Amino acid sequence: MGRKAFAVALGATAFAFALNVAPTQAQPTRVFVAAQGSDANPCTFAQPCRTFQHAHDTVAAGGEIDVLDPAGYGALNINKAISIQGHGFAGIAVTGGGNAISIDAGATDKINLRGLLIDGVGTGGNGITFSNGGSLNVQGSVVRNMGNIGILIETIGSYGVFVSDTMVADNLNGIVAFNDGSGTITVTLDQVALINHPNGVGVDVESLGSGATTRLVLTRSEVSGNFNGVSANRNLGAAAVSAFIRDTVISNNINGVVAQQGSVIWVGQSTVTGNGTGLLNAGTGGGPAVIHSYGDNNVDGNGTDGSPTDTIPAK
């Protein structure tokens, strides 16, 4: 074979080889799960997959999982930015101490969870555990019947956690934020029902690490039937813990508002009633605790109403 013929044959072979090599497929930015789906499917609308975990592993970072119909979609480990649209009928049931959703993502990853029904059936571990990530946003969801904590925030960085239009009920503890590092955690709760945690708290914020700052903002919510309704606790002298409560009903708890060990709580336009103790200043060991009132609260009908440390005129 001459040089020219050889070159033509070689080129034809290379062209044929190129045709047989499939291009690299980018991960989709939106995937779907359905009751009749299969994890052997590509998670498209026409061929949805079956579990949240497979959908998470299929979708691109920053993408969205969309739920097509009511079903249970299994426990989920999240390690990247993601959005889940559960539409109010996407279930996750866990038993035997397992966690429903565990989040350990990157420092700038935003996690958005909407319309989920998380049920521990009395024996599940934590409903949502947030260890690392840029932020966590939970909307329009229910977290109930967990054997440990409904929503656990336990981190060492600086993060924002936002929960709105959500019920956290009948768990061992409701929402607990432990700041183990030296950063700042801000937990914002709006229109949240924290109901019936007889062995724990409705919402508890603590700073455990030296230099840590933990902040709670609680507005337009109901905290009822817990051991402690709202609790703030500074465990180390160099740490800081504060809570701002506004337009919230805190009722029928053993203790309504509890300030411990150097924490500072502000209360305005709220009702504290039917508790064993309404306002409890339990600052011991870590320095005096403070409960500021704006003077526009209803604190009555408790076994012991308690008193704020001082009253700041509302502006």
pLDDT of residue 182: 85
Give CA separation, 26 vs 17, 23, 37, 66, in Å: 22, 9, 22, 19
Location of structure tokens 């305005």:
268
pLDDT of residue 180: 87
pLDDT of residue 26: 87
Pairing between β-strand 101-104 and β-strand 240-246 as defined by DSSP bridges? unpaired
Domain ranges of the chain: 196-315
Q: What is the pTM of this model?
A: 0.90
Residue 69 and residue 266: Cα distance in Å, rounded? 43
Q: Which residues of the chain have pLDDT under 70?
A: 1-25, 284-286, 314-315
Location of structure tokens 């708890």:
253
Q: What is the biggest distance separating any 2 CA atoms in the chain, rounded to whole angstroms?
A: 104
Q: What is the pLDDT of residues 207-253, one digit of tens each?
A: 888 889 999 999 999 999 999 999 999 887 778 999 999 999 999 99
Residue 31 and residue 53: Cα distance in Å, rounded? 12
Residue 147 and residue 176: Cα distance in Å, rounded? 14
Of residues 296, 298, 292, the one with CA closest to residue 272: 298
